[in-house]
């Protein structure tokens, strides 16, 4: 029951990530197949890197759901393009929820493979944020997360809250909820108030 709920949210997150990748591919005039691959990489790239680093079986090779859901996302973008543009806020909401859940999943999987908590936090960040990095590498753009906003940092902060709750003896469900809430809250504030990390100064500044 609990797992079904998590799986539904993960699918929603996958769709949101895939759609964001597909829309970016569309803005570059890729063909349908290229757009599918970019959407797929956005959705599963972070988790794939995590699984390779953990030496765990790669998650999307265990069930065809992820490939299918990305295909549905592509069909959705092709058919409902007009309505999508009017609902960017909803997309952003799904994207943020997906991000939070991906962080939680990354942390839990790492702990289940007996890695220490600091590795788990790093893997939570990689699961949430590196799909976008690999997407940007593929479409030959500078990864946005190096500049634009508090994205990966929100993932790390969520991981820190997970750790704190763990240390304070909170239940597993409270660890997950507080971690996800932190990611969502920080990400939302960052967008609303245009938060930014300080820029690194260079010799010529």
Q: In angstroms, rounded to a whole number, what is the distance separating the alpha carbons of residues 119 and 150?
A: 21
- Comparing CB distances to a second copy, the nearer of 110 and 176 is 110
Q: In angstroms, rounded to a whole number, what is the distance separating the alpha carbons of residues 18 and 13?
A: 8
Smallest distance from a second copy to CB 30, Å? 4
Smallest distance from a second copy to CB 78, Å? 7
Task: Report which of 132, 138, 148 is spatially closest to residue 194, judged by C-alpha positions.
Answer: 148
- Comparing CB distances to a second copy, the nearer of 10 and 136 is 136
The CA–CA distances, whole Å, from 168 to 21, 118, 173, 181 equal 38, 16, 13, 17
- Comparing CB distances to a second copy, the nearer of 9 and 190 is 190
Q: In angstroms, rounded to a whole number, what is the distance separating the alpha carbons of residues 182 and 155?
A: 8
Smallest distance from a second copy to CB 5, Å? 26
Q: Which residues are at the interface with a second copy (CB under 8 A)?
A: 22-23, 25-35, 37-38, 48, 52-53, 55, 57-58, 61, 64, 67, 77-78, 81, 85, 115-116, 118-119, 122, 133, 136-143, 145-147, 152-153, 196-203
Smallest distance from a second copy to CB 88, Å? 10
Smallest distance from a second copy to CB 202, Å? 4
CA angle, 134 as apex, 60 and 145 as ends, to 5°? 125
Using N-to-C axis directions, what is the helix angle for 65-79 and 32-54, rounded to 10°? Answer: 150
Which positions ≥6 away from 37 have C-beta within 8 Å?
A: 138
- Comparing CB distances to a second copy, the nearer of 170 and 195 is 195
Q: Is 132 in contact with 47 (CB distance < 8 Å)?
A: no
- Comparing CB distances to a second copy, the nearer of 123 and 161 is 123
């Amino acid at each position: 029951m609990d797992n079904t709920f998590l799986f539904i949210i993960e699918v929603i997150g996958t769709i949101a990530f895939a759609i964001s990748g597909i829309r970016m591919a569309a803005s570059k005039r890729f063909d349908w197949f290229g757009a599918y691959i970019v959407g797929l990489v956005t959705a599963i790239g972070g988790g794939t890197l995590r699984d390779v680093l953990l030496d765990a079986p790669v998650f999307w090779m265990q069930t065809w759901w992820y490939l299918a859901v990305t295909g549905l996302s592509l069909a959705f973008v092709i058919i409902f393009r007009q309505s999508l543009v009017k609902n960017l806020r909803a997309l952003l909401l799904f994207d943020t929820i997906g991000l939070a859940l991906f962080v939680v999943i990354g942390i839990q999987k790492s702990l289940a493979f007996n890695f220490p908590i600091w590795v788990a936090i790093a893997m939570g960040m990689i699961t949430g944020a590196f799909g976008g990095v690999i997407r940007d590498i593929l479409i030959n753009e500078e990864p946005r997360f190096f500049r634009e906003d508090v994205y990966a940092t929100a993932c790390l902060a969520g991981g820190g809250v997970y750790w704190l709750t763990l240390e304070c003896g909170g239940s597993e469900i409270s660890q997950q909820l507080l971690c996800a809430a932190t990611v969502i809250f920080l990400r939302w504030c960052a967008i609303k108030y245009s938060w930014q990390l300080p820029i690194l100064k260079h010799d010529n500044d």
